[in-house]
Each structure stands twice: as C-alpha cells, then as structure tokens.
Amino acid sequence: MDRRTALRKSGTLIAAATTSQWLAAPAVAQPGFPTRSLRVVVPYPPGGATDATARLISEHLAKRLGQAVVVDNRSGASGAIGCAEVAKAPADGHTLLYTLNDPLINNTVLVKNLAYDPQRDFRFVASILRSPALLSVPSSLGVRNFSEFRSFATATGRQLSYGTWGLGSLGHLAAETLARQLKFNAVHIPQRGEAPVLQDLLSNTIHSGWTSAGTARQHVQSGRLVPLAMMGRERSTALPEVPTFRELGITDTFFDRSVWMAFLVPARTPNDVVARLSIDIQAIAQSQEVLAAIRERGLEPQIAGADAATAQYSEEFPVITQRLRALGIEPS
C-alpha cells in the first residue's frame, strides 16, 4: 500500500503523513499492543505545565491500556536531550514524547549539531492544548494599557528590558518583532522558564515580560502585574479581559500564534499503534476531568489527531524558522 495513503482504524482517520518529511516507513505492528509499560518522555523539568499535563493524561492512559505509564523528565539543551532520546527509541509505541513546539521547530535553528531531525524522526499522535503568551508589566511601572506601554517604550533615549522563558522562544521572537514594528530599543533578559521571568517582573528587575496567561494570572488578579496584550487569534479564557495584539492594531500574523503541546512517537511506529494511542489520548483529553484541569491552569484545550497536528506543524515550521533567521537570532 502507498505509504502516503491514510489508514482508517476504529472509525478514525490517521494519516501516515501529510508532507514528505513525515513519510518514514512504519515498522510491523506488534500483536496485542501494548505488551509492557509505556514511557512518556517530557523534555522539561517537573513542575511546569508540560510535566503536569503529561502526568494527568498518562494516569488515565494507564487505565485505558491496562499497563503502567511512566513519565520520564529528561530536561536540558532547550528540550533537545529528551527529544533525542525518543528519536532513538524502539518504534513500537511504548515510548512517547510529550513536548511543546520549541524543540520541534526552534531548535533546528538555535542548537548546533542537533542530535535529531524533528521533521524526519517523529510522527504526531495528538495535540492536546495551547498556551497563549501574555505581555505584561509590573504595576509599579505606572503603565496601565498597551497605548501607554507604546509611549513608554518609544520614549527618546530609553532601552526597554524584557524577559522571556528562553533564547529563541516564541516570547523572544514576539518581543523582537514588536520592537522592530514599534521602533523602540529593547534588551532581552532570557531565563530558563517562566517562573524566573515572573520573579524579575515582581521585583521590578525588568520593564516587561512574556509568560503564559495561566502562569501570570494570579499576579494579574492581585494587581501586581498589568496585562497588556495576548498572543493568539482569540482572547484567552484565563484572562478574557486582555485584548489580543490584533485587536490593538498589531496586524503581523505572527502574533496569532501560541505555544502548543502534543504527543509524538518515533517515525517508524506502526499506523495501527499510532491510531490506538491517538484515539485513547484524544478521548482522555476530551473528558470533563481533564478539560477542567487544563482550564484551571489557564491553558486552552486544542485537541486534534495526527492529521491536524501534523498539518499545524508543517504550516508553522517555515514561519518560525524564517522569523528566527530574519531577526538574526544565533544558535547556541
């Protein structure tokens, strides 16, 4: 059968691939999958949103499959260590990767000698959620809205400092894009995660910061942070009062993007195994318990199967990598 042909399994269409990068030939399926415990590799430390949602879904997946599902945090090198481990794992469905988009896109530009090829070494199982990025400032700055921020940032002789969760992250790209569009000077203060960015904001160490809406929400509600604008095509349910950049007149479609999280497996994993995992993971993510937990963290459900997740990735890959190069952001 042509490997480009989508297979139908249990009434759900699972595409082998939608672009040539995702056309690795699948291995022969093992009978009675799963035959042993599963491992979900999270390429980030425990405690963050990626880790928390991986554990939540893995707990339910274990019940559906009748096998233990162990979450294994393999952090380091901007997610590259965990991704490389899954790329080399046996392609039998017993090892999954749960990650956000940065290691699958940004690392191809930012990391020298990357030990995996995200376009060749993985295939999607399902996407789960998105995390809108928020631009905010300390309340002590005296800026009350985006218009006042623009005036503050473009004041003669000022260099605006901003923090993000990492070099080359979506927040970093958005901040540099905004600085060029509004024509102000900016200096990047990269951190390893959102928590340090919040600490810098709350201690008035930086003028502005980019974090997820859910992470900043409690500090917005307490009045310590002023939310200015939200990335994404729609407002976030975590902070529905905050307008999107598009609503504020920033028309670059780059600001329509969000961080997203998805499950993947090694590229040669059999189609029927991917189908089984995709059906089960989507069903778990659509349950009221899991939906409530996702929303409680200020995240937005974005549940889709292999086809839709692959299509989103294929569309986003050139946009992000071209923006990295256009902004002159160098590899580490």
Instruction: Give the whole-angstrom CA distance, residue 100 versus residue 128.
Output: 10
Residues 81, 114 within the same domain: yes
If you average pLDDT over residues 311-328, what whole number do you get? 95
Instruction: Give yes or no for a contact between 265 and 93, defined as CB atoms under 8 angstroms apart.
Output: yes
- Name the band, by pLDDT with cuts 50, 70 and 90, for residue 193: confident
pTM equals: 0.82
Residues 139, 251 within the same domain: yes
Question: Exposed (0-12), middle (13-18) or buried (19+): which is 161, by Cβ within 10 Å?
Answer: middle
pLDDT on residue 4: 34
Residue 332 inside a domain? The answer is: no
Residues 266, 243 within the same domain: no
What is the DSSP pairing of strand 159-164 with strand 185-190?
parallel
Residue 114 inside a domain? The answer is: yes
Q: How many distinct structural domains can be found in the chain? A: 2
If you average pLDDT over residues 270-291, what whole number do you get? 97
Residues 62, 207 within the same domain: no
- The CATH number assigned to the domain holding 233 equals 3.40.190.10
Please count the CA atoms within 13 angstroms of the CA of 16 that sit on its side-chain side: 16
| Token couple for 304 | 């889709």
Residues 223, 118 within the same domain: no
Q: Is the confidence at residue 5, as pLDDT, over 80?
A: no
Residue 206 inside a domain? The answer is: yes
Residue 74 inside a domain? The answer is: yes
Where b means 16+ CB within 10 Å and e means fewer, 248-263 reads bebeeebbebbbbbbb
Residues 234, 315 within the same domain: no
Residues 160, 222 within the same domain: yes
Instruction: Give yes or no for a contact between 57 and 74, defined as CB atoms under 8 angstroms apart.
Output: no
Residue 97, domain extent: 9-27+36-130+259-326
Rg (CA), the chain: 20
Residues 122, 146 within the same domain: no
Instruction: Give the whole-angstrom CA distance, residue 33 versus residue 103.
Output: 28
pLDDT tens figures, 131-150: 999 999 999 999 999 999 99
Instruction: Give the whole-angstrom CA distance, residue 3 versus residue 87.
Output: 20
pLDDT on residue 245: 98
Q: How far apart are the first and last CA of the chain?
A: 43
- Name the band, by pLDDT with cuts 50, 70 and 90, for residue 46: confident
Instruction: Give the whole-angstrom CA distance, residue 184 versus residue 266.
Output: 44
User: What DSSP designation does 28 have?
Assistant: P
pLDDT on residue 28: 44
Q: Is the confidence at residue 44, as pLDDT, over 90?
A: no
Residues 172, 234 within the same domain: yes
pLDDT on residue 319: 95
Domain boundary among the residues 256, 282, 298 is at 256
Residue 2 inside a domain? The answer is: no
Residue 331 inside a domain? The answer is: no
Instruction: Give yes or no for a contact between 225 and 197, defined as CB atoms under 8 angstroms apart.
Output: no
Residue 3 inside a domain? The answer is: no
Residues 162, 111 within the same domain: no
pLDDT on residue 31: 62
- The CATH number assigned to the domain holding 290 equals 3.40.190.150
Instruction: Give the whole-angstrom CA distance, residue 93 versus residue 272.
Output: 10
Residues 138, 225 within the same domain: yes
pLDDT on residue 30: 52
pLDDT on residue 217: 94
Domain boundary among the residues 226, 256, 286 is at 256
Residue 244 inside a domain? The answer is: yes
pLDDT on residue 302: 95
Domain boundary among the residues 256, 279, 302 is at 256
Residues 185, 222 within the same domain: yes
**Amino acid making up residue 191:** Q
